[in-house]
Amino acid sequence: MNTIGHFINGEISTAAARTQDVFNPATGQAEKQVAIAPVETVEQAIACAQAAFPAWRNTPPIKRARVMFRFKELLEQNADKICQLIGEEHGKISHDAAGELQRGIENVEYACGVPELLKGEHSKNVGPNIDSWSEFQPLGVVAGITPFNFPAMVPLWMFPMAIACGNCFVLKPSERDPSSTLFLAQLLKEAGLPDGVLNVVNGDKSAVDVLLTHQDVKAVSFVGSTPIAEYVYQTANAHGKRCQALGGAKNHAIVMPDADMDNAVSQLLGAAFGSSGERCMALSVAVAVGDAAGDALVVKMKEAMKDLKVGAYTDSNNDFGPVITGQHRDKVVGYINHAQEQGASIVVDGRNPEIEGYSDGFFVGGTLIDNVTPDMVSYKEEIFGPVLQVVRVQTMQEAMDLIDAHEYGNGTCIFTRDGEAARYFSDHIQVGMVGINVPLPVPVAYHSFGGWKRSLFGDLHAYGPDSVRFYTKRKTITQRWPSAGIREGAQFSMPTMK
């Protein structure tokens, strides 16, 4: 069985405290193993990054950008292989994997503009013969901890910009689907990145804790569940590190009485069930305003869901694939059971789907649940599966109050034809990313991604302009060259321009 290793100082290493199986979620079979790094291997990766930092930080930004341009080309040339690796280990359908990769490539494109992004500010004659300017300098060694659900895209949110800004990077991907991430690192070396600038270690909590506590790691980026995000943020901060930790979500879509219901249903299908619901921007709750809207939504969703195709990644006609593990499948089914036990109506039941040829796969079919209430476990917690719940309210304000009261504030949207309602919603809703008739309002690469409340710990969002600020520190320089023969006496009061 093939063992997936680490990428340290430009070389593959299989150093391991132990190994862990990597499953194909469609077949339910362990097809690879991954080396779980001991503490010493993580420390080695950090040391290699630290050793590479002086030369890399002094590499002109335009040369760092050229590496990113070549990296972008290699990503496009190897797209089919990357998507295959994602499909084999995550289960994501080929067209969905291609979309994930393209979103990641767009972040590499943004990083290619780093010479412009790193330009500081300059002011001449802020005082007599005194000039002042600011510049953005790299932090040093920075780390990223990424989730299983986007093994290519989320790492590409992090290390391209961090490296383009002059930092060196240690990445710990999910041990559930590490191959595509490791391949990205190999492509970046092929693009001309010096050894040691990017290192990848596969590991568990012990590896994470090294990254959170090691004195040479200056900043940590994290994407995952809220309990772990909070732990990462608190631990990193306690050890003096800058940290951005993106957590969980419970994204609501308000369906107004005046909405184009056919369009709303079409959009909700993809937003709720795409990627098997395993994405932090999945729309998992539809809030219908008025019983008529609720009835129409449920009837049309039930009919539309008859055409959903669930299966293996190899068939591009499928809409979505399995969830990541058997344990997670059971967890998703458990939430459906809870909803039923607490009085909700299972309109379309995705428990125990029959997938021809894949009876051992980790599949959950598309599930629609009506009459869900805010006190239900399935409403309160993030399901992270192909489950759409319908909550019924009587007014738009009631719907907004429901969203604002939830502990998560990642993404939301409203389906309406009313511009006044849309404007009020976007102005007042307490959520970080908002869509107007757009169910997955994921910002493009030149904006930044992040939620509010317990969906994000830290002040700076992921990728886009915030990533430049996160991976650099501002330095302001004030200088004066006195004219020949002119010497000023000592000044004991605060200097001013009065």
Active site residue ranges: 280
| Cα gap 239→214, rounded to integer Å | 8
* Helix (H), strand (E) at residue 196: none
| Cα gap 227→457, rounded to integer Å | 11
Query: Alpha carbon of 123 to those of 115, 130, 132, 477, 478: distances in Å?
Result: 20, 9, 5, 10, 10
| Cα gap 250→391, rounded to integer Å | 13
Half-sphere CA count of 349, side-chain side, radius 13 A: 10
Work out whether the CA dihedral 442, 445, 448, 449 comes out positive or negative.
positive
Task: Give the distance from CA 181 to its chain's centroid.
Answer: 14
| Cα gap 269→283, rounded to integer Å | 9
Query: Alpha carbon of 117 to those of 48, 99, 154, 464, 478: distances in Å?
Result: 27, 26, 21, 10, 21
Alpha-carbon dihedral angle through residues 484, 486, 490, 493, given to the nearest 10 degrees: -100
* Helix (H), strand (E) at residue 265: helix 261-273
Phi and psi of 300, rounded to 5°? -70, -35
> Parallel, antiparallel, or unpaired: how do β-strands 387-393 and 367-370 relate?
parallel
Closest CA relative to residue 281, chosen from 446, 140, 100: 100
- Per-residue DSSP letter, 102: H
What lies within 8 Å, CB to CB, of 172 at 6+ separation is 42, 143, 144, 145, 146, 200, 201, 202, 203, 207, 208, 211
Half-sphere CA count of 404, side-chain side, radius 13 A: 12
- Residue 364 CB neighbour total at 10 angstroms: 27
Closest CA relative to residue 288, chosen from 421, 390, 400: 390
Give all strands of the β-sheet with 283-289 in edge-to-edge order: 345-348, 367-370, 387-393, 283-289, 251-255, 411-415, 433-436
Q: Which two tokens stand for residue 331?
A: 């967890």
